[in-house]
Amino acid sequence: MNNTIGTIITTTVIDENEQEYFVQKDGITYSLGKSEIKKPLKPGSSFRGFAYENEQHGLRITRNVPAIGFDRYGWGKVVSKKFGLGVFVDMGLPDKDLAISMDDLPALRELWPDVGDQLLVALKRDRKGRLWGELADDEIFKAISQPAGNPKLKNRTLTARVINPKKMGTQVLTTQHYVGFIDKSEEEQQPRLGEAVSARVIGIRPNKTLYLSLRPRAYEAINDDAEMIYRTLMMRADHFLPYNDHSDPADIQTYFGISKAQFKRAIGHLFKHHKLTITPAGIELVEDQHEG
pLDDT band for 220, please (50, 70, 90 cuts). Answer: very low
Least Cα distance to 9 among 61, 36, 49 occurs for 49
Tell me what pLDDT residue 292 has: 45
Where among 193, 213, 233 does a domain terminate?
213
Tell me what pLDDT residue 212 has: 95
Please say if the pLDDT value at position 219 is more than 60: no
Residue 3 within a domain: no
Please say if the pLDDT value at position 117 is more than 80: yes
Please say if the pLDDT value at position 164 is more than 60: yes
| 155 shares its domain with 188 | yes
pTM listed for this prediction: 0.71
| 204 shares its domain with 245 | no
Please say if the pLDDT value at position 218 is more than 70: no
Residues of the chain above pLDDT 90, percent:
75
What CATH number did the domain enclosing 102 receive? 2.40.50.140
Report the alpha-carbon distance of residue 254 to residue 2 in Å, rounded.
58
Please say if the pLDDT value at position 82 is more than 50: yes
Least Cα distance to 161 among 150, 169, 172, 152 occurs for 172
Report the alpha-carbon distance of residue 187 to residue 172 in Å, rounded.
13
Tell me what pLDDT residue 217 has: 60
**Cβ-based neighbours of 191, under 8 Å, separated by 6 or more:** 162, 165, 170, 197, 214
| 199 shares its domain with 150 | yes
User: Worst-scoring range by mean pLDDT, 6-10, 52-56, 152-156?
Assistant: 152-156
Residue 171 within a domain: yes
Please say if the pLDDT value at position 221 is more than 70: no
Domain that holds residue 193: 145-213
The phi and psi torsions of 271 (rounded to 5 degrees) equal: -65, -45
Q: What is the pLDDT of residues 242-292, one digit of tens each?
A: 999 999 999 999 999 999 989 998 999 898 888 899 999 999 998 766 654
Instruction: Let me know how long the chain is.
Output: 292
| 123 shares its domain with 91 | yes
**Cβ-based neighbours of 107, under 8 Å, separated by 6 or more:** none
Residue 231 within a domain: yes
What CATH number did the domain enclosing 268 receive? 1.10.10.10
| 238 shares its domain with 285 | yes
Residue 202 within a domain: yes
- Report how many domains make up the chain: 4
| 273 shares its domain with 235 | yes
Over residues 177-199, mean pLDDT:
94
Residue 89 within a domain: yes
- Average predicted confidence (pLDDT) for the chain: 91
Tell me what pLDDT residue 110 has: 92
Residue 2 within a domain: no
Where among 185, 213, 241 does a domain terminate?
213
What CATH number did the domain enclosing 27 receive? 2.40.50.330
